[in-house]
Structure 1
């Protein structure tokens, strides 16, 4: 395949605003093209498209974007920025941003912690009670 696959996000007149919002949060991000109908942009080098498609469709949890985080500082950064201005916290690292797009803000250490047979159930029990992941708590259970 010559060109990579990338997502197109459907907005109701907020495509340019959303592209700017996302680019302000992620490193190595930029708007690459913009007109009244479509904005294309990169988040940390990954291509996205935002379409002003109208009110016919809205976002739901059937599709989410996963952000793997190596540190608590990264988790805190993405959680704070994406829940700002009307975003909503969910359980187990899930959230919806102000546009209704679902994100999972996940520590990269989680699979390792869950694969430890002596601690996996305690880690699972702890993270099922969390909204935003707390790496220290998960490591200490």
Structure 2
């Protein structure tokens, strides 16, 4: 199976397959599509070890590379997952944080592999895109949150 023309590559220390399989259980339109093993030894790894995992997250093609500890994950890359309501927001947030992840601010969290996620209700992005005072109120409310509270954003938009 050949890779798509454009693919997101995520560098993992050693758990690309576990991460990809976890993402496939949490998000719709997500799957592990291939697991490739090293044909020979490479630094820190042996022939037969999983070297790359091809997967999708919400339809976005990705490759997980087991490259060792040289390049840890950081907030400079994140998946932004748009949600339609509080139930969907809670489901994704709780899956990531509740499985060894960590909460952050403004709808951000990290999974147990250090990959950052923005779990972002559409009501928030729509409010900010609309501009004006409702956008300011929604933005200011968001700045006080960890996981986004949809009802609080809606109340902020209303003033």
TM-score (ref. length: structure 2): 0.81
With over 3 angstroms needed to count, the CA separation of the structure-2 counterparts of 1:137 and 1:8, relative to structure 1, is: same
Give the C-alpha shift of residue 43 in structure 1. 2.0
Deviation track 1:67-93 (CA, whole Å, cap 9, x = no partner) reads 011111111111011112221111100
Unaligned regions of 5+ residues in structure 2, if any?
37-49
| 2:68 counterpart SS class | coil
Task: Look at both structures and tell me which one has the larger radius of gyration over its CA atoms.
Answer: 2
DSSP-derived class of the 2:112 partner = coil
CA distance in 1, matches of 2:131, 2:14: 47
Please say which of residues 109-118 and 4-13 is displaced more in the overlay.
109-118
CA RMSD for the aligned pairs?
1.7
> Who is 1:41 aligned against?
55
Structure 1 residues 30 and 120, CA, compared in 2 at 3 Å: closer, same or farther? closer
What is the aligned counterpart of 2:139 among 92, 113, 124? 124
Q: Which stretch shows the higher mean deviation, 91-100 or 117-126?
A: 117-126
Q: After the TM superposition, which parts of structure 1 deviate over 3 Å for at least 4 consecutive aligned residues? A: none
Aligned to 1:7: 8
For 1:102 and 1:110, the matched residues in 2 are separated by 19
CA-to-aligned-CA distance 1:92-112 (integer Å, 9 cap, x gap): 001111100011111112233
Structure 1 unmatched runs, 5+: none
TM-score (norm 1): 0.91
